[in-house]
Amino acid sequence: MRRLLDRVRRARPELDVRESYVDVVDPSVTDVVATLTGPAVLVPVLLSTGYHVSVDLPRVAAAAAAPATVAAPLGPDPVLVALACRRVREVASEAYDALVLAAAGSSDPAAARAVEQAGAALSELTGRPVRPAYASAAQPRVAEAVDQLRRDGYPRVVVCRYLLAPGYFADRVGADAARAGAAAISEALGDDPELATLVLRRYDSVAGDVAGDVAGDVANLG
**Residues 65-105: pLDDT tens digits?**
989 999 999 999 999 999 999 999 999 999 999 999 999 99
Answer yes or no: do 215 and 166 share one domain: no
User: Each residue of 106-145: pLDDT tens digit?
Assistant: 999 999 999 999 999 999 999 999 999 999 999 999 999 9
CATH code, domain with 140: 3.40.50.1400
Percentage, residues of the chain above pLDDT 90: 86
String of DSSP letters for 61-81: HHH-SS-EEEPPPS-S-HHHH
Answer yes or no: do 61 and 125 share one domain: no
Counted domains in the chain: 2
pLDDT for position 24: 86
Answer yes or no: do 138 and 170 share one domain: yes
Distance CA 57, CA 123 (A): 32
pLDDT for position 205: 94
Domain range enclosing 14: 2-75+192-220
List the end-to-end C-alpha distance of the chain, in Å, as a whole number: 8
The residues pairing with 162 across neighbouring beta strands, listed in sequence order, are: none
**210 pLDDT above the threshold of 80:** no
User: Could you tell me which residue, 208 or 14, shows the higher pLDDT?
Assistant: 14
Answer yes or no: do 207 and 137 share one domain: no
Residues 6+ apart with CB under 8 A from 10: none
Would you say the pTM of this structure is higher than 0.75?
yes
User: Could you tell me which residue, 122 or 209, shows the higher pLDDT?
Assistant: 122
Answer yes or no: do 158 and 94 share one domain: yes
3-state secondary structure of 44: strand
Answer yes or no: do 154 and 64 share one domain: no
Distance CA 210, CA 212 (A): 7
Answer yes or no: do 156 and 211 share one domain: no
Answer yes or no: do 118 and 162 share one domain: yes
Cβ(98)–Cβ(154) under 8 Å?
A: yes
pLDDT for position 213: 43
User: Each residue of 163-190: pLDDT tens digit?
Assistant: 999 999 999 999 999 999 999 999 999 9
* Rama region for 114: left / alpha / beta (φ>0; ψ in -120 to 50; rest): alpha
3-state secondary structure of 38: coil
Q: Residue 19: which H helix or E strand, with range? A: strand 16-20
Answer yes or no: do 107 and 148 share one domain: yes
Q: How does the average pLDDT of the chain come out, rounded?
A: 92
Q: Residue 42: which H helix or E strand, with range? A: strand 40-45
Beta strands in the chain (DSSP E): 16-20, 40-45, 68-70, 98-103, 130-134, 157-161, 184-185, 215-220
**222 pLDDT above the threshold of 60:** no
Answer yes or no: do 83 and 180 share one domain: yes
Q: Which of 35, 32, 10 is nearest to 19 (CA)?
A: 32
pLDDT tier at 208, thresholds 50, 70, 90: confident
Answer yes or no: do 120 and 159 share one domain: yes
pLDDT for position 41: 95
